[in-house]
Amino acid sequence: MLDLKFVRENPEVVKENIRKKFQDAKLPLVDEVIDLDAKSRAAKQEADDLRNKRNVISKQIGGLMAKGLREEAEQMKQQVADFSQHLAELEEKEAEYAEEIRKRMLVIPNIIDASVPIGKDDSENVENERFGEPVVPDFEIPYHTDIMERLHGIDLDAARRVAGNGFYYLKGNIARLHSAVLSYARDFMINRGFTYYVPPFMIRSDVVTGVMSFAEMEGMMYKIEGEDLYLIGTSEHSMIGSFIDQIIPEAELPYTLTSYSPCFRKEKGAHGIEERGVYRIHQFEKQEMIVVCKPEDSMMWYDRLWKNTVDFFRTLDIPVRTLECCSGDLADLKVKSCDVEAWSPRQKKYFEVGSCSNLGDAQARRLKIRVAGENGNKYFAHTLNNTVVAPPRMLIAFLENNLQADGSIRIPEALRPYMGGLEKITE
């Protein structure tokens, strides 16, 4: 959410940003906010004037009563009562204006960074850099669930009977591999100075609206019926939510956190849910990284975060690339974002396995996360998040890139301590 003063003083900048995101339908919101703000400020000024007048007259009533001028005092009492009634009406108007302004401000997109490429959708995202050499072996690579089933590591049919499409049972060494990757990711981030968390897996609605846009919420979140609780789509939601209404001493920044959680998503949209795959599913687990920092440090942390994911995948011998998200592909709260994509030898292309985002002060402004500077001034923190790893999607890249000609799966050296020393998975 933008600063109202910024919108008031820079309406054309806000409108141009909306155009860059190809959301022209939102352009009228800017003028509506400015008009509502003017009305709100006028109502507040009138209310302040009334309060001053009421206070002056109230003081005069006592003097009139002391002089025995009861009739004049009663007239002034009536005037005070009239002022109070009108004041109540003005305060109600102020509240209405504030609510209407907030509704519009919540859907006006954040100002994107000048480095973000302009494009309508994800088809216009821009490749930044590749890490590792993409290899296509001289033997056929089966579909990932076929690999898992041959290794007795997945049961989608049982999951469909129990919960429907978009769920899975992992078992045997594939389930062990899944847990090993998460344990390795936890230690990988701890070794890079991040503090490990296991957060709540449900959050209240005020946190939901604080950490994401309405469009994201509608397409992602599962609501707990009869309660003000939502299942999290990522642990970032819980982690950023933990700072709601807090004033953080500047000396404590940055907070560098890494969190594990299950994640629950509706996955509504064009891609749908696969019957025979684990790429787009309703339930998965993830290791996340979160940073809360000073505004001047956020771009430095943005680069550190995506590099952490690249380094993690490279230790598992998986080639990756980074893809800069264009303006039209950025969620409304984001200032800048890139995807980390892993190489798929079977498809001979890269696919998304993680996303790194700088949200500027958007989440902090919504959740009232402020920093107390050394000189006593208060300002909004900047927040960032990035995926370390999200199996079972990541397992697709792992299995394809470590599949051997004999059908076994090679375990990279970095992961072997988490697999009990196992060097390969066989039937």
Amino acid in the structure at residue 89: E
The two structure tokens encoding residue 174: 């594939």
- Residue with structure tokens 């982690």? 239
Domains of the chain: total: 2
Q: Name the pLDDT band for 190 (thresholds 50, 70, 90).
A: very high
CATH of the domain at 28: 1.10.287.40
Q: How far apart are CA 143 and CA 347, in angstroms?
A: 9
Q: Are residues 46 and 174 in the same domain?
A: no
Instruction: Please report whether residue 333 resides in a domain.
Output: yes
Residue 69 pLDDT exceeds 90: no
Mean residue pLDDT of the chain comes to: 93
The DSSP letter of residue 175 is H
DSSP β-bridge partners for residue 323: 127, 339
Give residue 356's Cα distance to chain centre.
10
Task: Look at 6-10, 16-20, 208-212, 244-248 and tell me which has the smallest mean pLDDT.
Answer: 208-212
Q: For 283-324, what is each residue's pLDDT tens digit?
A: 999 999 999 999 999 999 999 999 999 999 999 999 999 999
Please indicate, yes or no, whether residues 162 and 61 belong to a single structural domain of this protein: no
* Same domain flag for 99 and 132: no
**Integer CA distances (angstroms), 383 to 212, 310, 370, in order:** 12, 20, 11
Selected residue with higher pLDDT from 418 and 273: 418
Check whether residue 101 and residue 141 sit in a common domain.
Answer: no
Specify if 114 maps to a domain: no
421 assigned to some structural domain: yes
The CATH number given to whatever domain includes residue 248 is 3.30.930.10
Same domain, 92 and 234: no
- Mark 56-72 as b/e (b = at least 16 C-beta within 10 Å): eeeeebeebeeeeeeee
Is the domain of 228 the same as that of 81? no
Q: What pLDDT sits at residue 383? A: 98
Please write the tens of the pLDDT for every residue from 34-59: 999 999 999 999 988 888 887 777 76
User: Between 162 and 427, where is the model more confident?
Assistant: 162
d(CA 250, CA 364): 14
Asked whether residue 117 is domain-assigned, the answer is: no
Q: Mind listing the pLDDT tens digit for each residue in 125-153?
A: 999 999 999 999 999 999 999 999 999 99
